Amino acid sequence: MLSFKAMINIKKLGLGISLCSSLIFVGCELDKFPLNGPEAGSFPTNENEATMGLLGAYKGLTLLDAASTPIWHVMDNITDIGYARPGNNYTSPITSSLTTDNALATKPWGAHYKTIARCHAVLDKLENLKSSISEETYNQLDAELRVIRAYCYSQLIELYGDVPLVLHALDLTNSDLPRTSKAEIQQWIIDEMTAVADHLPISQPTTSNVRVGSVAAYMLKARVALYAEQYEVAAEAAAKAIELSQGVFELTPFDASIAYANQTYDVGEPSSANIFGYDGYKNSKEWIWKLEYNRNISGNTHNQGYYMASRLGKGASYWGPTQNFIDSFQDIDGLPIDQSTKYDAAHPFTNRDPRLDLYCARPHARLMGIQYETNASFKKVINYWPVLKGESDEPAQVSNTDASNAYRSFSGYLWRKHTDNADYDTNSASGESDLDVGIFRYAELLLIYAEAKIEANDIDPSVSEAINKIRRRAHMPEISANLSQAELRTALRYERKIELCNDGLRWYDIRRWNIAPQIMNGYLYLNRSGNTWTKDVLVKIDENYTPIYNHGKATEYFNTQEVVYKENKDELWPVPQAERDANKNLTQNPGY
């Protein structure tokens, strides 16, 4: 069988899948088949065509972005932990101002249903191939398509709640389907993954795990069950995924640059690229399922590197962590900063959980080869690229546009996680990146297992061990084996907030934990000017690891973004008005 890249390159020859034949309430675009290619009416007619259709469904997942950034790395920037450049698309979601035609809120509906349609283009006729391909191949093709379809529905129901559950291609006579309840779709996904998981290989390393295996199927089942509060089901599925992962998937240790965490720019540059960069996506055993991007395939790139990079890193500084998130990181002793004796507000970036520097960029650190400073007192900063490229024995000094540019970081911080210095030379407004994007990784699987066991009150040593594996990797103290359920919940929520930051899961977490009404009403704190502050800006860190501020004192040092969360509205996004215009049976979510 051809490799994944070889097969997906066939797309360059013009192979496409008719989405119009599946009419999933979206604008239809017919990808033209080559004259000597398969007929849309009979496709697929053989194993090769079915596999190409499957790969087209995988590619469909890569098309969902916002500001040229894959959606997974956008979502955390409309929560309490991340902030985007102010504007309608990204400020309205955090001020209860979304409209039914907002591009960010409408795009996932159309994109996921298009991918579902690609799945149906093969699934609906796969039965016709049973006599010409092996049972194993048939079952695997069927299973992979059903995992992709189920994943799309798992995203749709979290964003929109009840959505039409479409299980076959539609035509003009049966396209006006009503919404199916979220609970019914959650159970359908759980049942689907139960049915197909064991028809898949454990993993698919020959495709770099771009194609799903049984671990991914069980993990999807576990995640959906967790979100549905079916904790015993979630724990069992996660345990099965962990069991199957033995010798296949595991946590990848941070590389030697972890030594530069808590240090200044002149010492070195911390990086997590061996997990979240080009090397990581190629070699890390942590990625259970990822999306592949490739400059050699038309339409298979993004420009995330530009939007996430600093101004001196040739970027737009579009996304960045909030002060609220920076203050959430424990000190190196494992205590929150309101309790740790090691915390010094005058030197807030020392003695902290190393992941602060591995996942975020803050003042006085080196970022993408250049000293990162956001305070205007730093007129010049040091550029290490002449040394890194072997052009000079000494670094250069450059004007500090990270402090002077009108479109510098609006939060004062930037994401380091999911960036790679290899993109430095191609970062630009018209640049492109083919850094892959992860959907499932082993760290999240461990945390799904731990949370499900905690919430089921089925607590044993495996719970703290799942959390401690992640903490040991970060060089952080282990949690105690004798914590109560409430204490374990706090420890779990810290790890999800920190370890899974900028992975795109925070938006869902704060809603399912019912803490969004508290943390998304009030203010986000942003240190755009790179100010130093005093300890009395902080009142406490609460049981969810949310910093509580003395607002009057905090505004002496930080600028703010007021946030608004209306209950019985902002739990969900609006159903796109264009879809309701096309389908009169679609009702709208409350508040829109």
Would residue 360 count as lying in a domain?
Answer: yes
Backbone angles phi, psi at 178, to 5 degrees: -80, 175
Beta-strand (E) ranges in 334-478? 360-361, 365-367, 370-372, 380-383, 396-399, 414-415, 437-441
What does the buried/exposed string (b/e) look like for 13-25 if buried means 16 or more CB atoms within 10 Å of the residue's CB?
Answer: eebbbbbbbbbbb
The Cα–Cα gap between 206 and 222 comes to 25
Among candidates 164, 180, 189, 157, which has minimal Cα distance to 25? 164
Number of domains in the chain: 1
Q: What is the pLDDT of residue 390?
A: 96
- What is the token pair recorded at 516? 């969004």
Q: What is the pLDDT of residue 175?
A: 78
Q: What is the pLDDT of residue 40?
A: 59
- What is the token pair recorded at 140? 């695997």
Q: Cα–chain-centroid distance for residue 456?
A: 26
For residue 431, the one-letter residue type is G
Would residue 216 count as lying in a domain?
Answer: no
- What is the token pair recorded at 507? 């938006």
Structural domain span for residue 341: 303-431
The Cα–Cα gap between 544 and 424 comes to 36
Among candidates 401, 395, 341, which has minimal Cα distance to 376? 401
- What is the token pair recorded at 350? 């020392």
Phi-psi region of 229 (alpha: psi -120 to 50; beta: other; left: phi over 0): left
SS3 18: strand
Would residue 372 count as lying in a domain?
Answer: yes
Q: What is the pLDDT of residue 4?
A: 44
User: Which residues in the chain land under pLDDT 50?
Assistant: 1-37
Burial of 247 (0-12, 13-18, 19+ CB in 10 A): exposed
Would residue 52 count as lying in a domain?
Answer: no
Would residue 319 count as lying in a domain?
Answer: yes
Residue 162: DSSP 8-state: S
Q: What is the pLDDT of residue 441?
A: 98
Would residue 75 count as lying in a domain?
Answer: no
Residue 375: DSSP 8-state: S
What does the buried/exposed string (b/e) look like for 548-567 if buried means 16 or more CB atoms within 10 Å of the residue's CB?
Answer: bbeeebbeebbbebebebee
Q: What is the pLDDT of residue 193?
A: 98
- What is the token pair recorded at 55? 């790969």
Would residue 227 count as lying in a domain?
Answer: no
> What is 26-86 written as a DSSP string?
S---BPPPPTTS--TTT---SHHHHHHHHHHHHHHHTT-EETTEEGGGTGGGGSSSEEE-S
Instruction: Kindly give the residue spans of alpha helices, DSSP state H, lying in 162-321.
Output: 182-196, 214-227, 231-245, 273-276, 278-283, 304-308
Would residue 393 count as lying in a domain?
Answer: yes
